[in-house]
Amino acid sequence: MNHPAASCHARARAEPQRGAALLIALVFLVILTLLGLAAMRTSGLEERMAGNLRDRSIAFQAAEAALRYAEQDIRLSGRVRGLSGFDRECTAGLCYNGLNQPFPVEVWRDADKLKRAVEYGSIDAAGRERLPTVAKQPRYLIEGFIKQQPGAGPTYFYRITARATGRNPNTVVHLQEVFVP
């Protein structure tokens, strides 16, 4: 038989349990919300990192293109013959420090010499397609050196320094190579 006191006692025990379940569910929702926010923040950071890496890759490829273009300038244009036309002021992007010494300070740190750097695509008569994915077209300077060998003629070699940007003008890559034609 059902006793009224027993059913009242069972109801009194059941009510606090429902309140505890609600509290636990709310704590879980808060934890899940915090986990979701952390995942979104991490995802946004990874997206920015991937974008920066892509921009640096674009700048690197543009600098590589400028190096190859400078090699063609040395080999094919006819404007580079030995060290004629090379001077300390880097006129037309051709730099010579005398005594076969490199410049004591990187030529890219000198704003006046940087203004005289050759822009990608500016040497060939027909012009070259501009690089569409960069903020500014890459530029390069050529430093000339001569090595005197006893019993043989002089050997000319050139240090090419290329500077390029990515889509963001603040992403800058400098590349250098020594080229012996």
Residues of the domain holding 110: 4-179
Ranking 48-52, 88-92, 176-180 by mean pLDDT, the lowest is: 88-92
Q: In terms of pLDDT, which residue wins out, 133 or 105? A: 133
- Model confidence over 10-47: pLDDT tens digits? 555 555 455 678 888 889 999 999 999 988 888 888 99
Q: Flag whether pLDDT at 125 surpasses 60.
A: no
Mean pLDDT of 140-157: 86
For 67-107, the pLDDT digits (tens) are 999 998 888 877 888 888 888 888 888 988 776 666 666 76
Mean of the per-residue pLDDT values of the chain: 82
Structural domain tally of the chain? Answer: 1
Residues 6+ positions from 177 with CB-CB distance below 8 Å: 67, 159, 160
pLDDT of residue 105: 63
* C-beta separation of 168 from 160 below 8 A: no
Q: Could you give the C-alpha distances from 128 to 33, 53, 63, 155, in angstroms and in order? A: 54, 27, 15, 30
